[in-house]
Copies of this chain bind each other. A is one copy, B any other.
């Protein structure tokens, strides 16, 4: 039993009493999970974060106590003192199922209105009701277990990084707005009218400054903010397990990162993760899995069949080839499980990834194909051979003059088919590093090259001479840790040279003046002796999701926001007092006015 070190009236948690404690006088505190009134007998299941124990009241119970027990309703808060005894009819499911407390004294510490839903695992409540009554939703054992696991993970991080000489140093939350990618949350300054702070999207610049300051090894469990339109796997505020180290190369950072994830898996799930983790270049990941976060727990790899159709007359394939490719995946053995209608639906679905359509061949008893009739027989045969086609298989092909479309469509289709046909081996986690990311990606919206990781990432020295002439071919020293097909973390070696940093910002389209205005303090710091350094960060919410197999990111956060960024429980954001806005020298331009 937990020994409460203080003078608490409570003897232990509800989930702890066992047969060996029979005969002890205990005081237990908790919430009424349910009260059963059998006339001469009353049983109350008392719940706290550790579990449930049965309180028993019968003829021998003091009348006043018995009556109090009679009045108890769900979610009342009780303190019960009594003698632990062995149960006559045991409950094999409950860890405390062999015992019950014969109550001698009972205090009702708080009453409760009837809650809007029962406090049970997996209770069937709408998400909106759960979030509106989050304080009740969090009483459910599954929610409590998630937040306890989250605590274990952060404790793991504090211990691991401290043991390895990392200092936890807090970086500011009220910083300068330097958006590059996502939108900043802004905070109006009261003292400097017309000026604003921003909330940090990450501690990136500050942790680099700490390396320049000589702290050598930094870590932080850092709150970050991004004002983006939310998806199911985004929260406007989220947490990173963040570290940075000096005098290192990529391998050093990876070794520290692997050590941490190894410890988390061991401490939390008692799973041994062998290290070093497998590594795969970004190019290989894209070519084989159509994804920079490949899920290697199943096969169904991409086949490049461009060569098979390089001289084809079929326009759909032919027109893709100059700049792009024709690639496909083979869903083996499920031809009879996929109707023509379902295939058509998948064809519509991949269009959301930019594909013009999905070409397919279904090798059921009756072979059908959307494209073979347009090809020469030897072309169709070559594709089948290249894709290892056998009776029972379904072949899916995507053709595009933009390889990113081919990768995205087939990468998503591969995962969707694996989920649908249960092809994923969930018996053990699959971790790997994806390395050698491209330094830049071209943004059609912005009409310029953007940093794929961020503008402070070190380019591969071998590619430096092409920084201006062929940015698309420049690799960076950036790496992602991929777990079960999710990007759990990522990082890079950083630029530690002012001139190279200036050149990088120029390649990204910043004029020297603009670079100075935005990042002047970093450029300035780099002049005074910056050590080689690098680091990485994990998304804590993502890590909790991947480790515990949770689908909804909101379940990993105590008080999450919904997709509109609102907090349904407290009704935030909300209007404020006009004086508050006057103090900040701002006015709202509400459409409603």
Are B6 and A213 closer than 8 Å at their CB atoms? no
Nearest CB of chain B from residue A36's CB, rounded to whole Å: 18
Residue numbers in B under 8 Å from A593 (CB-CB): 194
Residue numbers in B under 8 Å from A179 (CB-CB): 580
A239, B215: Cα distance in complex, Å: 20
Question: A307 at interface (Cβ–Cβ under 8 A)?
Answer: no
Residue numbers in B under 8 Å from A322 (CB-CB): none
Q: A177-B580, A185-B187 are in contact. Are A136 and B588 (CB under 8 A)?
A: no
Q: A77-B530, A585-B590 are in contact. Are A172 and B567 (CB under 8 A)?
A: yes
> Ordered nearest first, which 7 A-B pairs have the shortest CB separation?
A194-B590, A112-B529, A138-B213, A176-B572, A195-B573, A6-B255, A189-B573
**Which of B176, B206, B223, B590 is A193 in contact with, Cβ under 8 Å?**
B590
**Chain A 12-31 interface residues, beta-carbon cutoff 8 Å to B:** 13, 29-31
Are A29 and B195 closer than 8 Å at their CB atoms? no
Please choose the segment from A245-253, A473-481, A545-553 that sits at the chain B interface, where 4 or more of its residues have CB less than 8 A away: A245-253
Question: A465 at interface (Cβ–Cβ under 8 A)?
Answer: no
**Which of B79, B135, B174, B564 is A209 in contact with, Cβ under 8 Å?**
B135
Nearest CB of chain B from residue A575's CB, rounded to whole Å: 6
Nearest CB of chain B from residue A22's CB, rounded to whole Å: 23
Q: A187-B185, A585-B590 are in contact. Are A176 and B570 (CB under 8 A)?
A: yes
Q: A223-B170, A573-B176, A589-B587 are in contact. Are A252 and B6 (CB under 8 A)?
A: yes
Are A573 and B192 closer than 8 Å at their CB atoms? yes
Please choose the segment from A37-45, A337-345, A370-378, A519-527 that sits at the chain B interface, where 4 or more of its residues have CB less than 8 A away: A519-527
Nearest CB of chain B from residue A524's CB, rounded to whole Å: 8
Nearest CB of chain B from residue A151's CB, rounded to whole Å: 4
Residues of A bordering B, CB below 8 Å: 2, 5-10, 13, 29-31, 47-49, 75-77, 79, 109-113, 115, 133-136, 138-139, 144, 147-148, 150-151, 154-155, 158, 162, 164-165, 167-177, 179, 183-199, 206, 209-210, 212-216, 223, 225, 227, 236-237, 239, 246-249, 251-252, 255-256, 259, 496-497, 520-521, 525, 527-532, 557-559, 561, 564-567, 569-576, 580-581, 583-593
Are B151 and A167 closer than 8 Å at their CB atoms? yes
Chief secondary structure at chain A's binding surface: loop
Nearest CB of chain B from residue A566's CB, rounded to whole Å: 7
Q: 13 A-B residue contacts at CB 8 Å?
A: A5-B256, A7-B252, A75-B528, A112-B527, A147-B215, A173-B173, A175-B570, A179-B580, A187-B573, A198-B572, A206-B558, A206-B559, A586-B587
**Which of B13, B133, B574 is A176 in contact with, Cβ under 8 Å?**
B574
A521, B134: Cα distance in complex, Å: 10
